[in-house]
Amino acid sequence: MLSWVRHKTKLDKLKSNYCKLIKNAYEISIKDQIKSELLHKEAEKILKEIRSIESQS
């Protein structure tokens, strides 16, 4: 009945956070290249963590 209120796993949270960071980095890249690069680096760290979790499964 409450299947639509599913709790997110750590992997789901990381994936959504990664998508948000990449989207923000793209939008900011037009105005500020340095901030965009920082967001990209942060997203890369999250991507490495996602890959390590997926490889353990």
Q: Write down the pTM of the prediction.
A: 0.83
Domain boundary assignment for the chain = 10-56
SS3 5: coil
Q: What is the pLDDT of residues 18-39, one digit of tens each?
A: 999 999 999 999 999 999 999 9
| pLDDT confidence of residue 7 | 82
What CA–CA distance (Å, rounded) separates 25 from 19? 10
Q: What are the structure tokens assigned to 20, written together?
A: 């948000």
Q: 47 to each of 5, 30, 33, how far by Cα in Å?
A: 26, 23, 21
Residue with tokens 């920082």: 38
SS3 6: coil
